Structure 1
């Protein structure tokens, strides 16, 4: 597949790191002068901008966490006056104050460029039609993909989430070739299409770009089989820029290429806060080095992954990150065992009759944690064979215990029992009073 920006995306390591250092130093000087939070953070650590003389010096800088953004709500983390801010996005704020991010005109252009690179890496060309089912509005997904498609020169259909039956009709009539959305909503689209008698194998899609929530290799196999396309994982978060921080390439689908000319990536041990070697899992940390309105320095994402510096057959030289396996704040501790929803999903998807819709319920009874896994099963198998269903529940429960070391009650439920989402799936319901 052609590379959108071949000069930067295939740059030798020495040249790339030279650009990173220069951009990092410029960013540090600017935030120290314009963002009181960063000046205070640097001063407390006994650092001045001129102390950053190499990329290794980055580890001397204190981390930034989401609570810092909330403490400076709404605009105190901005590094430019509001008259230079042309766009504002924000998180939902479901767990506290929303995190608010801003963009200058140049930031919007940078973001569009990164998303054009991302779409190109996923196999998109100016001749493609992109069905964009990411949500529009304060969520960055929809507009990020939209501007990237226009920058690439492709045609974009801004359908957003919802109106699912209408989306299926548009897919038939408009013949889009690239599909964008959250994997859980895309699977819901596939369900509705089947109800309408529409086979994705008869549609024109060649690849799908799915993100905004963790999804496993088993989920990839499910998506590719149901949708007859190549499923590409994209990564981003609003605090860093939005989608377009990294993406898998069409050629390998083995790790997401981080666009290192715009972001410096680290992986740290979340307990010791020290960097870990390449290949070892830890918490993902990003420093933005080209953002104007809302740069972040050593931002702890809570996402768990590892880094791979090995060359890729696609020709890109930027480091790759593995698919995030979960988040430190999504991690469940069940009777002392650390469990991520994605690990449960991997076990569930090993059973062929299981549908890719599940929910974890955590409760506490008599001071002991309990885990219930509700998962939908194929309608043809959901019958009056109670003993057969019970045997399957027992087997899955045994597999979860064997692979993850945690006891779980498994409940097989009828199709469409678990509520669908037009955006990110709600995987965990924690009923414990802590």
Structure 2
């Protein structure tokens, strides 16, 4: 951690307040090196980026020309490698491994997430870059943190512990369950902070209220893995706990974190974030809701244009705390939208393809209505000025793309909500 970080500092390090243009320049300068590294040291990106000149990937426009890799593809490649007996449990995406994987070495731990997806942890301190989220939540060097994320199979517990150690905190590895023993540890060790899901801390606090266990030492918390609503925030505050949230994944590490401003979540350092139209790789303007796509500059696990499947949007302006990185609204839903209509699946990617063919469309969504087996599908599309015959051309294009008939309704700009929804299933299940 930078020497600028102290108990009296508002920021984890100087990176948090660097001029936005300088940060962008540094990220884009590092991008060609990361693409070249991924091509040279991972079999998956050697294939996905075959024929791409890494040196030319030095702008956001050039980055947007690369394919998006989604978790489903990562899982499919991992499964294919395992089934083939090739022996690479990471599906060719990891630049590190252990002696049994040939020349690759450098893995500290291996984790297994539902799917089954395997993730490597490299040797770097704070591999998942979580320390700054802990700092923003009020944790300080010397604090004891009660870590109730799982240490079993999945990486959440280790992610938080690595960040805590980088910050200079001590950790009690509580994990999940064993409520009575965890309450005893809190009462006797008197940790200042809690790290885990909000639901488990609520269980601990409610149980402590019933049994008389003293958990008053915990006054600050960093939550992840579940929704942390304003109502929950107020519930904890009424019990003396100030809670913040962060957004992280097992693949990418920390993506964004909440600050005392409570206005969205500030992006982590060392990642390049894009908001793209669901079902495509096309970047959307600031403020539009779309899928969050992340490129990490971590050399050990160089995920480039990795689609999270989560919806969010970039907030305008900068954080009132003085942090200069961009902010996102937080988690706004899932991007992998689909519906089955008259025996055929329609996907967000098909609406994205329609919008690619008709750039005059500002927003569009397929709405499926009626009862099951009596489906009606309509396209609702915003357009500033409708050319003659546009509705008919859209209907024909949709039939070509989806193999289904569809009504078309043209709407003025601003008619559809900015929620990232491209496929809306409004059918009655009765």
**Deviation of residue 332 (structure 1)?**
9.3
3-state SS of paired residue (2:142): coil
Matches within 5 A, 1:307-346: 307-329=314-336
- In 2, Cα distance between equivalents of 1:267 and 1:333: 23
Q: 1:326/1:199 Cα in 2 relative to 1: closer, same or farther (>3 Å)? A: farther
- In 2, Cα distance between equivalents of 1:368 and 1:197: 58
**Alignment partner of 1:218 is 2:231:** yes
Residue 54 of structure 2 corresponds to which residue in structure 1? 49
Q: 1:297 aligns with which of 285, 301, 304?
A: 304
- In 1, Cα distance between equivalents of 2:132 and 2:111: 22
Confirm or deny: 8 A CA contact 1:278 1:309 kept in the other structure: yes
3-state SS of paired residue (1:266): strand
**Alignment partner of 1:63 is 2:68:** yes
**Deviation of residue 269 (structure 1)?**
1.5
**Deviation of residue 116 (structure 1)?**
1.9
Structure-1-length-normalised TM-score: 0.69
Unaligned 5+ runs, structure 1: 336-364, 370-403, 409-431
Matches within 5 A, 1:356-375: none
- In 2, Cα distance between equivalents of 1:12 and 1:38: 32
Unaligned 5+ runs, structure 2: 1-7, 79-88, 97-102, 342-370, 376-423
Q: 1:99/1:368 Cα in 2 relative to 1: closer, same or farther (>3 Å)? A: farther
Residue 375 of structure 1 corresponds to which residue in structure 2? none
Aligned-residue RMSD, C-alpha: 2.9
Structure-2-length-normalised TM-score: 0.70
Confirm or deny: 8 A CA contact 2:126 2:162 kept in the other structure: no
Higher relative contact order (CA 8 A, sep 6+): 1
Q: 1:34/1:228 Cα in 2 relative to 1: closer, same or farther (>3 Å)? A: same
- In 2, Cα distance between equivalents of 1:111 and 1:27: 16
**Alignment partner of 1:268 is 2:284:** no
Pairs aligned (count): 329
- In 2, Cα distance between equivalents of 1:287 and 1:321: 15
Please list every run of at least 4 consecutive aligned residues from structure 1 whose deviation after the TM superposition is greater than 4 angstroms. Answer: 331-335, 365-369, 404-408
Q: 1:239/1:312 Cα in 2 relative to 1: closer, same or farther (>3 Å)? A: same
- In 2, Cα distance between equivalents of 1:55 and 1:274: 11
Residue 243 of structure 2 corresponds to which residue in structure 1? 231
